[in-house]
Amino acid sequence: MEVPRRKWLVLLMLLLLICCYGPGGASAAGKTSKKTYIVHVSKSQMPAEFVEHSHWYDASLQAVSDSAEMLYTYDTVTHGFSARLTPAEAEALAARAGVLAVVPETRYHLHTTRTPEFLGISHESGLFPESESVTDVVVGVLDTGVWPERKSYDDTGFGPVPATWKGACEEGKDFKAATACNRKLIGARFFCKGYEASMGPVDESRESRSPRDGDGHGTHTSSTAAGNFVQDASLLGYASGTARGMATRARIAVYKVCWTGGCFSSDILAALDKAVDDGVNVLSLSLGGGQSDYFRDGVAIGAFAAMEKGILVSCSAGNAGPGTASLSNVAPWITTVGAGTIDRDFPAYITLGNGMNYTGVSLYSGKPLPDEKLHFVYAGNVTNSTNGNLCMSGTLIPEKVAGKIVLCDRGINARVQKGAVVKEAGGAGMILSNTAANGEELVADAHLLPATAVGEKTGNAIKSYLSSEQNPVASIIFGGTKVGVEPSPVLAAFSSRGPNAITPAILKPDLIAPGVNILAGWTGAAGPTGLAVDTRRTEFNIISGTSMSCPHVSGLAALLKGSHPDWSPAAIKSALMTTAYSSYKGGKPLLDVSTGMAATPFDVGSGHVDPVQALDPGLVYDITPDDYIGFLCAIGYTPLQIGAVSKRNASCDSGKKYSVSDLNYPSFSVPFETATTGAGGAGSTTTIVKHVRTLTNVGTPGSYRATVTAAAEYVKVTVEPAELSFKQVGETLSYTVSFTAVSQPSGTSSFGSLVWSDGKHVVASPIAFTWT
Ligand X SMILES: *[C@@H]1O[C@H](CO)[C@@H](O)[C@H](O)[C@H]1NC(C)=O
Residue tagged active-site, from 143, 215, 273, 622? 143
Which helix (H) or strand (E) covers residue 14, if one does?
A: helix 2-21
Are 569 and 333 contacting, i.e. CB atoms less than 8 angstroms apart?
yes
How many CA within 13 A on the CB side of residue 306?
A: 34
Binding site for ligand X (CB under 6 A): 42, 44-45, 351, 355-357, 378, 381, 384, 397, 463, 466-467, 649
Name the residue nearer to ligand X (CB basis): 464 or 772. Answer: 464
Q: Where are the beta strands (DSSP E) in 664-727?
A: 668-672, 675-676, 683-684, 688-697, 702-709, 715-720, 723-726
Q: Which amino acid is at 764?
A: A
> Least CB distance from residue 456 to ligand X, whole Å?
14
> Least CB distance from residue 25 to ligand X, whole Å?
36
Q: Strand 287-288: give its sheet, edge to edge.
A: 258-259, 262-264, 107-110, 287-288
Q: How far apart are CA 358 and CA 618, in angstroms?
A: 47
> Got the DSSP string for 593-653?
TTTTEE--HHHHTT-B--HHHHTS-SEE----HHHHHHHHHHTT--HHHHHHHHS------
> Least CB distance from residue 348 to ligand X, whole Å?
13
> Least CB distance from residue 464 to ligand X, whole Å?
8
Are 668 and 691 contacting, i.e. CB atoms less than 8 angstroms apart?
yes
Q: Is 384 helix (H, G, I), strand (E, B) or coil?
A: coil
> Least CB distance from residue 431 to ligand X, whole Å?
12
- For 612, phi then psi, to 5°, come to -65, -45
Rg (CA), the chain: 27
Q: Is 217 a catalytic residue?
A: yes
Are 337 and 604 contacting, i.e. CB atoms less than 8 angstroms apart?
no
Name the residue nearer to ligand X (CB basis): 199 or 640. Answer: 640
Residue number closest to ligand X, CB atom:
467
Task: Please choose, from the candidates 107, 112, 35, the residue with its C-alpha nearest in 3D space to the C-alpha of residue 263.
Answer: 107
Q: What is the dihedral of CA 279, 69, 44, 294, to 10 degrees?
A: 60
> Got the DSSP string for 542-592?
EE-SHHHHHHHHHHHHHHHHHH-TT--HHHHHHHHHHT-B-B-TTSPBPEE
Residue tagged active-site, from 79, 217, 552, 691? 217
Q: What is the dihedral of CA 610, 615, 616, 617, to 10 degrees?
A: 50
- For 688, phi then psi, to 5°, come to -115, 130
Are 654 and 626 contacting, i.e. CB atoms less than 8 angstroms apart?
no
Q: Is 265 a catalytic residue?
A: no
Helical ranges in 112-240 per DSSP H: 115-119, 177-180, 193-199, 217-226
How is residue 396 annotated by DSSP?
B
Q: Is 220 a catalytic residue?
A: no
- Per the DSSP assignment, residues forming a β-bridge with 141 are 254, 284
Q: How far apart are CA 392 and CA 419, in angstroms?
A: 10
- Point out the residues that are catalytic: 143, 217, 547
